[in-house]
Copies of this chain bind each other. A is one copy, B any other.
Amino acid sequence: MRQPHEVFLDYLRRRNLNMTPQRAVIVETFLATEGHFSCEELCTMVRKADAAIGQATVYRTLKLLVDSGLAEPLLAGEGPVLYEHSYGHGHHDHLVCLNCNGKIEIVDQVIEDQQEQLAREHGFTLTRHSMILYGLCPRCQNSDHRKD
């Protein structure tokens, strides 16, 4: 399997864009960060490596990462858009706890197949999808630490 770094370089080449020191730092930081984070948060982490990198550059580069297929936005609603890297993770959906905000990755082939089937019935060609299940995780069901 091709390394994410390679994937990004190929993408830049295809788009006639250049690798730059800033982009290198941002991509490296992005790949080294697990979990879900906003662009603002990525920005903060990038600046630990190089404080001179502008916020706009991080936004612009994250957009390239999404376009290249390495990053995926998680549209959960409130606040800023969260991202995660899709490289080496495979596709997955999310189970989100409404209380502690914890996120579990889930995959279900039955659902994936059914989604394709549904799209076909309506003549759609599917590109991607987003499925988020909201509820209470086991811990929060039994704890008194409810937000409400």
For the complex, count residues of A whose C-beta is within 8 A of B. 35
| A87 CB, nearest partner CB in chain B, Å | 20
Q: Which of B76, B122, B128, B135 contacts A125 (CB 8 A)?
A: B135
- Of A9-17, A33-41, A57-65, A108-116, which stretch is located at the interface? A108-116
- A→B interface (CB under 8 Å): 73, 75-77, 81, 95, 97-98, 104, 106, 108, 110-111, 114-115, 118-119, 122-138, 141
Cα of A114 to Cα of B81 in the assembled complex, Å: 27
| A112 CB, nearest partner CB in chain B, Å | 10
Find out whether the CB atom of B98 lies under 8 angstroms from the CB atom of A123.
no
Cα of A128 to Cα of B114 in the assembled complex, Å: 19
Contacts A81-B77, A110-B114, A118-B95 hold; do A135 and B131 have CB atoms under 8 A apart?
no
Q: Which of B106, B122, B138 contacts A106 (CB 8 A)?
A: B122
